Amino acid sequence: MAADSYDDVAKSKDSIPALEVAPQDLYHAKSFWTKYIFCQDAKVIGIQYALTAAAIGMVGLVSSWLMRMQIAFPGLIPMDAAAYYQLVTMHGMIMVVYLLTALFLGGFGNFLIPLMVGARDMVFPYVNMVSYWVFFLAVLILAASYFVPGGPTGAGWTLYPPQAITSGTPGGDGLGIVLMLVSLAVFVIGFTMGGLNYVITVLQARTRGMTLMRLPLTVWGIFTATVLALFAFPALFVAGIMMTLDNMLGTSFFMPAIVEFGERLSYDGGSPILFQHLFWFFGHPEVYIVALPAFGIVSDLISVHARKNIFGYRMMVWAIVIIGGLSFIVWAHHMYVAGMNPWFGFFFATTTLIIAVPTAIKVYNWVLTLWRGNIKLTLPMLFSIAFIITFVNGGLTGLFLGNVAVDVPLSDTYFVVAHFHMVMGIAPVLVILGSIYHWFPLITGRFLNERLGRIHFWVTFIGSYSIYFPMHYLGFMGVTRRYFEVFEGDAFTYSITGINQFITVAALITGAAQFLFFYNIIVSSKLGKKAGKNPWKACSLEWQTPDVPPTHGNFGKDLPVVYRWAYDYSVPGSDNDYITQDTPPSAVANAKAEQT
Amino acid sequence: MFVVLLVLAVVLGSVVFHMWSPWWWSDIASNWVGMDDTIILTFWITGAVFVAIGLFMAYCIWKYRYDKNKKAEYEPENAKLEWALTIITTIGVIALLAPGLIVWNNFVTVPKGAYEIEVVGQQWGWSYRLPGKDGILGTTDIKNINDDNPYGLNMDDPYSLDDVLIDGDDLHILNNQPLKLNLRALDVLHDFYVPQFRAKMDMVPGMITYYWFTPIKTGTYEILCAEYCGTGHYAMLGYVVVDEQGDYDEWLSEQMTFEEVLASNGKSDLIKLALNKKNDF
């Protein structure tokens, strides 16, 4: 319910603070180019980000198919060790940076932040547009590395020196590693433009009445993740620049004196572990850059579809912020056996396990939101349930790896692979899928096909669990990761061939189901069932726009005014089981809302 | 409602898989039983949490399934419940962390009396160096490495010449003797890992890392490189043999010292040089 005159609202009994900054006019695009290509509308930019991320993500998906084939059925698809390591590397880097980070922050961040905080657009629409095109350039540079002599780098996504830039690694003595480092640097530049936008929009452009403690948790998640990214990515950036200098100009930031294949290289005095510190100072927050938006979004999905307020909202906000803060002092738990000073182990194991507490609180609160709810088993809810199971599993195995002494036998084994795929691969992807089913009606005005969606859900959840749950047991056996040929020996109590074949078959099926999902998106965007306005009966602002899908400027003539938090579901005394954020108390006089 | 069955199947299926899985670690052959024990403890605690959350969620999904005549409960916060859960979780975390840190403290504290050997990793194989009669490893420098001196031993170090070099052969170690491995890499990162010993540590060019353990079972064990080191990473394998004293001595007597290696290569001039330095010292 938009207020007709700002002054009226300020004086009315629902008292709302007056506007501090006069409304700004937006850039109005006229040509095709400025409307759809170099577009300054955050919603379009979000979709551009999402489509680009999905496209390069498909390369990552197919890479995983190919390497799983090599692990389980060697020889069926001809490849040499170099090609295998290139697949491993590109799969990892694409999925973590170019798919998940870009999709959550660039995709969901752009589409949802202005709508959810009640803004007409991001605060710097032009910079926002440039941000996408810089990201696009980064993706092109990355893709170009497939076409240079020697191919893309096979250094592993962690790019550890010295091997990343020496000749024993695919692409290490060619252009592969150079293009990877340049692409990452360009990505960081593009992200910084977008990231500043997201943060400043949340801080400065919230509509009247939208206090920080009324923000949907989706916004809290994306906002906090963006702040983390703005602090963390510079570490990756400088590490990338320093490694490029080592590679191109012969500096020795990360390179000690080494003898490779009998030849003494000209480096001297650098520290490979310095790179690892920089990489993980970025890399660990990166886990939460992916996880926090998922935490936030899934909170909203669960709340909407269980028709119940999110349990313990304030605790949820603080948990997000605390996890974000702690994520900067745990990085070296990736390096327990990297050769750093062993006494660091005590500190980083302690900080790491402390993170389990706020994380556990989030899990409890999701489940307690289901408790005494009125649960609609819609597709977004199904994916949210799958997320909770997957995340709990992946989070708990983090307690193995975070506990330094337990990490010693498990590090560098398939236990690690299984853990991080569960916790930062599958779990966030399940949220992405659920949230696409949830917001697709807002983006296109149509539902995704329900039957295809159900098949997609069952195959994806059962399939991904079948891939990664058994994989932990390979890790307990001590099966080392990044082996081109699976090693079968006395070290292992039981053959690992059968289990590897099972995992590969599950991976092929699960991957194929994603193409069914793409098909669903394409077909339903034209032929899907019409959704109408606010089909899920949600409280948050993005569903209260006058037009569906929302048009440029989002909210028509006047911005909405916010009177309550985003979770007034099933409020006692109210006629509906939801009260939207822009409903003034006077309009629902009988409702006994406790929290605003 | 199938999803309730699905959640139950996933939770109970995980437990059943765990109990029946033939994929489990092989018998431990070192003193690091504490690591295994901490894993088992972690399993019990995290397993209980996983089952509890899963079952409670399945119950909620079934019990509170949608009914258009019902309304969800409205309870934004419940401070008592939230604090209780926080405190229980904190206790659980401490129960995991404390034993973990004790084991780590043992791991990083090399016992007095442990004998030392050196493991050298390079793309893509292992070589070893024993301290020889004087019981002390000679110092090395990567700049000394050449065909005659593949380990880069310092010629002017009096402890160098008697060092035993094991290049292209299996490593033998003594049963029931605490052993400190000094780890050195010549080119890129590697990691000396024997699954039955449980322990591992990266080898980093430019520095010497270490770990210690006590083998407790004789036999031959496979060595796997556990840190990605380039195209041949998967093939960087080797064997370590845990011997009783008699077998070990027999093996050791067949190995060549640095001095003998130089002599066999016709490099007596280098030996003379080194011996002169030693006398000066």
CA distance readout (Å), B7 to A363, B11, B53, B192:
16, 6, 10, 41
Q: B150 with B183, same domain?
A: yes
Q: Is pLDDT at B261 greater than 70 in this prediction?
A: yes
Spatial contact of A395 and A328, defined as CB atoms under 8 Å apart: no
Dump the DSSP string for A3-56: -S-HHHHHHSTT--PPPSSPPPPPP---SHIIIIIS---HHHHHHHHHHHHHHH
Q: B32 with B157, same domain?
A: no
Q: pLDDT value at position B107?
A: 96
Which residues are CB-neighbours of B41 under 8 A, at least 6 positions away? B95, B96, B99
Spatial contact of A290 and A101, defined as CB atoms under 8 Å apart: yes
Give me the CATH code for the A35-210 domain, please.
Answer: 1.20.120
| Over residues A173-195, mean pLDDT | 95
Nearest-by-Cβ selection for A85 from B78, B191, B231: B231
Q: B13 with B124, same domain?
A: no
On whether any CB of chain B is under 8 Å from the CB of A347, the answer is no
Spatial contact of B74 and A594, defined as CB atoms under 8 Å apart: yes
Tokens describing residue A338: 């990297």
Q: Name which of A275, A341, A392, A574 to mutate to probe chain B: the one with the most chain B Cβ atoms within 10 A of its Cβ.
A: A392
- Read off the CATH number of the domain in which B201 is found: 2.60.40.420
Residues 416-455, chain A: which have Cβ within 8 Å of B? Answer: none
Q: pLDDT value at position B219?
A: 96
The residue in chain A having the minimum alpha-carbon distance to the alpha carbon of residue B27 is A493
| Over residues A452-473, mean pLDDT | 97
Q: B122 with B101, same domain?
A: no
pLDDT digits (tens, 9 = 90+) for A81-108: 999 999 999 999 999 999 999 999 999 9
Tokens describing residue B45: 């605690």
Angle at B38 between CA B95 and CA A285, to 5 degrees: 75
Q: Is pLDDT at A432 greater than 90 in this prediction?
A: yes
pLDDT digits (tens, 9 = 90+) for A332-366: 999 999 999 999 999 999 999 999 999 999 999 99
Residue-number span of the structural domain to which B33 is assigned: 2-108
pLDDT digits (tens, 9 = 90+) for B92-116: 999 999 999 999 999 999 999 999 9
Q: B100 with B149, same domain?
A: no
> What is the 3-class SS of A143-159, one letter each residue?
HHHHHCCCCCCCCCCCC
Q: B75 with B209, same domain?
A: no
Q: pLDDT value at position A6?
A: 47
pLDDT digits (tens, 9 = 90+) for A302-337: 999 999 999 999 999 999 999 999 999 999 999 999
A81–B234 CB contact, under 8 Å = yes
| Over residues B20-25, mean pLDDT | 92
Fold of A377-552: Cytochrome C Oxidase; Chain A (1.20.210)
Tokens describing residue A362: 């989030």
Contacts of A162 in chain B (CB under 8 A): 187-189, 205
> What is the 3-class SS of A504-561, one letter each residue?
HHHHHHHHHHHHHHHHHHHHHHHHCCECCCCCCCCCCHHHHCCCCCCCCCCCCCCCEC
B6–A461 CB contact, under 8 Å = yes
Name the minimum distance, in Å, from the CA of B13 to any CA of chain A: 10
β-pair partners for B179? B115, B213
ipTM score assigned to the predicted complex: 0.95
Residue carrying structure tokens 């822009």: A582
pLDDT digits (tens, 9 = 90+) for B113-132: 999 999 999 999 999 999 99
- Nearest-angstrom CA–CA distance, A508 and A57: 15
Q: Is pLDDT at B207 greater than 50 in this prediction?
A: yes
On whether any CB of chain A is under 8 Å from the CB of B230, the answer is yes
How many distinct structural domains can be found in chain B?
Answer: 2
Q: pLDDT value at position A290?
A: 95
Q: B119 with B217, same domain?
A: yes
Using DSSP, state whether A350 is helix, strand or coil: helix
**Percent of residues in chain A assigned helix, strand, coil, to nearest 5:** 65, 0, 35
Residues of chain A with CATH 1.20.210.10: 377-552
Contacts of A408 in chain B (CB under 8 A): 32, 35, 107, 198-200
Spatial contact of A568 and A539, defined as CB atoms under 8 Å apart: yes
Q: Is the pTM of this model over 0.80?
A: yes
Confidence of residue A1 (pLDDT cuts 50, 70, 90): very low
Confidence of residue A5 (pLDDT cuts 50, 70, 90): very low
| Over residues B146-166, mean pLDDT | 90
A168–B232 CB contact, under 8 Å = yes
Q: pLDDT value at position A16?
A: 65
Cβ of B143: how many Cβ atoms within 10 Å?
Answer: 12
Q: B269 with B145, same domain?
A: yes
Contacts of A373 in chain B (CB under 8 A): 60, 64, 72-73
| Over residues A218-228, mean pLDDT | 97
B256-257 β-sheet, strand order: B209-213, B179-185, B115-122, B125-130, B164-167, B256-257
How high is the mean pLDDT of chain B? 93
A406–B42 CB contact, under 8 Å = yes
The DSSP code for A328 is G
Q: B191 with B98, same domain?
A: no
Q: B103 with B119, same domain?
A: no
- Nearest-angstrom CA–CA distance, A156 and A145: 15
Boundary (domain end) residue, out of B108, B130, B163: B108
Residues 185-204, chain B: which have Cβ within 8 Å of A? Answer: 186-189, 191, 193-196, 198-204
CA distance readout (Å), B188 to A85, A97, B146:
16, 25, 18
Closest CA to A402 of A331, A320, A340: A331
Dump the DSSP string for A261-311: TTEE-S--S--HHHHHHHHHHHHHHHHHHHHHHHHHHHHHHHHHHTTSPPT
Q: B135 with B250, same domain?
A: yes
Name the minimum distance, in Å, from the CA of A472 to any CA of chain B: 10
A385–B61 CB contact, under 8 Å = yes
Q: pLDDT value at position B1?
A: 78
- Nearest-angstrom CA–CA distance, B184 and B206: 8
Contacts of B7 in chain A (CB under 8 A): 385, 389
Q: Is pLDDT at A18 greater than 80 in this prediction?
A: no
- Nearest-angstrom CA–CA distance, B165 and B281: 23
The residue in chain B having the minimum alpha-carbon distance to the alpha carbon of residue A172 is B230
Half-sphere exposure of A325 (CA within 13 A, CB side): 8
Q: B29 with B74, same domain?
A: yes
On whether any CB of chain A is under 8 Å from the CB of B12, the answer is no
Q: Name which of B104, B140, B170, B208 to mutate to probe chain A: the one with the most chain A Cβ atoms within 10 A of its Cβ.
A: B104
Q: Is pLDDT at B272 greater than 90 in this prediction?
A: no
- Nearest-angstrom CA–CA distance, A348 and B130: 34
Spatial contact of A245 and A251, defined as CB atoms under 8 Å apart: yes
Residues 42-71, chain B: which have Cβ within 8 Å of A? Answer: 42, 45-46, 49-50, 53-54, 56-57, 60-61, 64-67, 70-71
- Nearest-angstrom CA–CA distance, B31 and B52: 34
Using DSSP, state whether A495 is helix, strand or coil: coil
Q: pLDDT value at position A15?
A: 61
Residues of chain A with CATH 1.20.120: 35-210
| Total CB pairs under 8 A between chain A and B | 351
Q: Is pLDDT at A13 greater than 70 in this prediction?
A: no
Indicate the angle between helix axes A427-444 and A110-117, nearest 10 degrees: 60
On whether any CB of chain A is under 8 Å from the CB of B76, the answer is yes
